[in-house]
Chain A
Amino acid sequence: MSERKWTDEQKKQYYEMLGEIQQVDFVLVELNLYLNTHPHDHKAINQYNEFAQKSMALKNKFQSMFGPLTNFGNSFSTYPWSWDDAPWPWQV
């Protein structure tokens, strides 16, 4: 599909918001792996749930501006369909 035309301001915002999502999602990956071997760590579970909520909120905002992050019904679609629009992760 066609590549989106972004202004410099949009590009800056894209990288900033993506960076925030990457940070929050990293916490979730790390806690997930940790909890697989420490299932009774109550504090870690609370932190996991807290960051899961943060991640969802950040992604909702990001997707309303830059289109869906996930496919197969895990993100709502824009009109027109933009899931397969560039940029893909290796292009940014």
Chain B
Amino acid sequence: MWIYEKKLQYPVRVNKCDPRMAKFLIEQYGGADGELAAALRYMNQRYTVPDKVIGILNDIGTEEFAHLEMIATMVYKLTKDATAEQMKEAGLGDHYANHDKALFYHNASGVPWTASYIQAKGDPIADLYEDIAAEEKARATYQWLINMTDDVDLIDSLSFLREREIVHSQRFREAVEILKADREQKKIF
């Protein structure tokens, strides 16, 4: 069960129309290393990992949904006042033809999200290493996105998200150590 809170995790202050940047940000909405992939990956893996690390996946997965909402807010605000012509100029003509200005789960190039982006191996070490890699890839993507804008407010929100990837990666690394220590203890006793 989830409870919705009518607030963003961190403010998204966007007051300008910039469909070009929105097109790039969509990478973190429906791309391979985006927030949807992260949330669905962890939420699905949590059923079959050892009890000691379920909470880590559950809670980070939940936070990813809050990040998905932040990215959606950025895209929504950057495109809401755009004309069809501006969408076309920004390279979003293909998107507009199919979706108007509705958001959709695809990457910056318009490739729809697919479950083949994520894995659940039934092996907790394999799963957690994938999760660490996912966080590092998302961190890198946020940096590339930050490099493409000079909007200080947008950079502020993207920097927050970039930092969260670092923290999540750290927690997953600790989860690996917890499982390793557990395994060692079982060998000794």
Contacts and interface: CB of A to CB of B under 8 A. Distances in A.
Contacts of B133: none
Secondary structure dominating the interface of A = helix
Task: Give chain A's interface residue range (CB within 8 Å of chain B).
Answer: 20 to 34
Task: Identify the interface centre among B6, B63, B69, B76: most chain A CB within 10 Å of its CB.
Answer: B6
A64 interface: no
B167 interface: yes
A36 interface: yes
Interface in A19-71: 19, 21-22, 25-26, 29-30, 32-34, 36-38, 68-71
Interface in B44-91: 55-56, 59-60, 63, 69, 72-73, 76-77
Interface string B3-35: 111111111100000000000000000000000
Nearest to B14: A90
Interface of A: 18-19, 21-22, 25-26, 29-30, 32-34, 36-38, 68-72, 74, 88-90
Interface in B102-126: none
A55 B12 CA distance: 21
B171 interface: yes
B178 interface: yes
A21 B9 CA distance: 9
Nearest to A87: B6
- What 10 A-B pairs are tightest by C-beta distance, nearest first? A37-B174, A90-B73, A89-B8, A36-B55, A36-B56, A69-B6, A90-B76, A33-B171, A70-B3, A74-B3
B175 interface: yes
A4 to B, nearest CB: 13
Given A32-B59, A37-B56, A89-B73, A69 B9 contact: no
Contacts of B76: 90
Given A37-B56, A37-B178, A90-B69, A30 B167 contact: yes
